Amino acid sequence: MGIVGFLLVNTVVEASVLSLRAVKRNDIAITPTNNLAVLGGDLIEAEVILFAWADDFPPPMPGQPLGVHLFGVTIDSAEYKSPDGGKLTPLGWRAPMNRIPCPPTCPPAFPTCDPSPPVGCRCTTGHDPSLGGFISLTSPNFLFWGLNPIADVNTTTLNYVYFAVAPNSAVPYAGVSKYLATLILEVSPDACGSFTVSFDPDGTLIGDAANPVNISLPTLQPLTLVVSECARRLLSCSPTHCDIDARTPRDKEDLVPLTYNSIDMTFSSSTAEMTAEDFEVSLLPVIEGDIIPVIQSVTQDAADPNRTSLDFLPRIPVARWTCFRDIGSNKRCCVASLPGDVDDNRMTNSSDTYKLLDNLRGLSLPPLELEKCDIDRSQLCAPADLLKNVDLLNDPDYCTPDCPTLPVCTSISTPSSPCE
């Protein structure tokens, strides 16, 4: 029995109200509300409540019960992400927020996959969305309590669908609200701003026991969760995340090392109290015997209190991602040195020479930045850089036998679970 099919039948004047109300915060009961201040990391239990449906349906035909015979409720997950940062996910949701195709080897038990590099696409584990979306059939306040209803919850996507019907029965309005369903939401630790959890009106309705069924589309009251005490979050970095410096690692005379030894980071709030202990440095890919750069100083920008500079030694190595993770927001910025990689394909080859040539001819729009075209570190983008690029390709010490490459750059977000 499909919910959409009911919408094609007679619709009457609405009188009922469906409300999504928070009833618990971190497993502690609260006064039910549609608007709640929360913190990152909170667990919020909400209930779908129906009330005031007395005038929804016409008088029943002889032998048919008066009241609500069935309901369908669909959650709209469109605002599970906030433009200010962070997200909501139902308890037990450990898959990506957007469904993606699974590889052929993915077992049927895991209908969603994790696209995180470097694996590419692996099967999701620990994914149990039923923990966060269910109907408590044994609750005395359940609309169809004691009527042996047929009920189902579809949690294959984040737009959870709840459905129930009471065979040969209907529930009249007796002046009290009734429980329909439960949605338990996890607020991500980095959440900030306002999240509004609404109903999808195309899949939210109640119906009576007439034949054909009379359908009512209730007034819908969403739940708003507001995170005002936001944790400081890493927003951007300079050089930008996944930046590849195509210049030679030393000066023009090949004497002084000049790869990056500092990075600027911009946060959502003041960096005044940040120290080296707030960061973690790593190299990717991991190689035994790595010498990890050590942060020497953390300096707040005098002109922008949300911006800070990290100075470190030794300088970043060649053909590795050097990543600086802000532990508090679990986000990182990765930069690399790969001499000759002008076109950002994470390898040095003849296509880079053509890219340099196009730039000299004025065919690159926008023109290449200095870090991409000044291969010989002369402070100019000139024909000599073409020759330097060819020298790199023919240098047996640099290409032995193949020129070094970089793995795919990871997201600025460093997931705390396999399927973030």
Residue at 265 is within a domain? yes
- The answer to whether the CB of 376 falls within 8 A of the CB of 251 is no
Q: Is residue 375 part of a domain?
A: yes
Q: Which of 186, 201, 227 is the last residue of a domain?
A: 227
> Where is mean pLDDT largest: 6-15, 17-26, 74-83, 328-337?
17-26
Residue 63 has phi, psi (to 5 degrees) of 90, -5
Residue 156 sits in the same domain as residue 267: no
Q: Give residue-wise pLDDT tens across range 146-198.
A: 999 999 999 988 999 999 999 989 999 999 999 999 999 999 877 888 999 99
| Confidence label for 221 from pLDDT (cuts 50, 70 and 90) | very high
Q: Is the pLDDT of residue 111 over 60?
A: no
Q: Is residue 28 part of a domain?
A: yes
Task: Give Cβ neighbours of residue 413 (< 8 Å, ≥ 6 apart).
Answer: 330, 331, 420
| Residue 124 banded pLDDT, cuts 50, 70, 90 | low
Q: Considering only CA atoms, which of 344, 310, 313 is closest in space to residue 324? A: 310
Residue type, 410: T
Q: Which helix (H) or strand (E) holds 388?
A: helix 383-393
**For the segment 307-331, what is each residue's pLDDT rounded down to a tens digit?**
999 999 999 999 999 999 999 888 8
Can you give the pLDDT at residue 364? 83
| Domain count within the chain | 2
pLDDT tens-digit map of 68-100: 999 999 999 999 988 777 899 999 987 777 655
2 has pLDDT over 70: no
| Residue among 344, 324, 321 at smallest CA distance from 246 | 344
CA-wise closest residue to 279 among 317, 335, 334, 328: 328
Give the domain-ending residue among 196, 227, 258.
227
pLDDT classification of 118: cutoffs 50, 70, 90: very low
User: Please, which pLDDT band fits residue 102 given cuts at 50, 70 and 90?
Assistant: low
Is 245 found in the same domain as 221? no
Q: Compute the distance between CA of residue 242 and CA of residue 323 in angstroms, rounded to an integer.
A: 9
Question: 417 lies in a domain?
Answer: no
* pLDDT interval class at 104 (50, 70, 90): low
pLDDT at 105 over 80: no
Is residue 222 located within the same domain as residue 241?
Answer: no
The answer to the question of residue 415 being in a domain is: no
- CATH number for position 294: 2.60.40.1220
218 and 340 share a domain? Answer: no
Q: For position 156, what pLDDT does the model report?
A: 83
Contact predicate 160/143, CB 8 Å: no
Range of the domain at 207: 3-92+128-227
Instruction: Label residue 200 by pLDDT band (50, 70, 90).
Output: very high
Tokens of 73: 């409720």
- Same domain? For 217 and 238 the reply is no
Q: Is residue 120 part of a domain?
A: no
Identify the three-state secondary structure at position 126. coil
- pLDDT score of 8 more than 60: no
Q: What angle do CA 26, 31, 35 make, to 5 degrees?
A: 80
Of 323, 43, 92, nearest to 191 by C-alpha is 43
Indicate whether 11 pLDDT > 80. no
**What is the CB neighbour count within 10 angstroms for residue 290?**
12
- Over 90: is that where the pLDDT of 1 sits? no
Answer yes or no: do 222 and 257 share one domain. no
Q: Are residues 31 and 163 in the same domain?
A: yes
The reply to whether omega before 96 is within 30° of 0 (cis) is no
84 or 282, which is more confident: 282
Asked if pLDDT for residue 120 goes beyond 70, the answer is: no
Q: What percent of the chain has pLDDT over 90?
A: 64
Q: Are 73 and 181 a contacting pair, CB within 8 Å?
A: yes
The DSSP secondary-structure symbol of 349 reads S
Say how many Å lie between the first and final Cα of the chain, rounded: 34
Same domain for 82 and 181: yes
**Is residue 25 located within the same domain as residue 61?**
yes
Tens of pLDDT, residues 180-194: 999 999 998 778 889
CA angle (392, 359, 373) in 5-degree steps: 40
Q: Using one digit for the tens of pLDDT, what is the confidence trace for 360-414?
A: 999 888 889 999 999 999 999 999 999 999 999 998 889 888 899 999 887 776 5
| 24 and 65 inside one domain | yes
Taking residues 222-246, what's their average pLDDT? Answer: 91
pLDDT at 277 over 70: yes
Question: Quick one: 147 exposed, middle or buried, by C-beta within 10 A (0-12, 13-18, 19+)?
Answer: middle
Name which residue leads in pLDDT, 119 or 132. 132
Residues 178 and 145 in one domain: yes
Q: Which helix (H) or strand (E) holds 372?
A: helix 370-373
Q: By C-alpha distance, which of 114, 138, 139, 125 is closest to 92? A: 125
Give the pLDDT confidence score for residue 172 in this predicted structure: 95
- Please report whether residue 398 resides in a domain: no
**Residue 190 maps to which CATH number?**
2.60.40.680
Strands annotated E in 288-414: 294-300, 307-313, 321-326, 331-337
246 & 177 share domain: no
| Residue at 31 is within a domain | yes
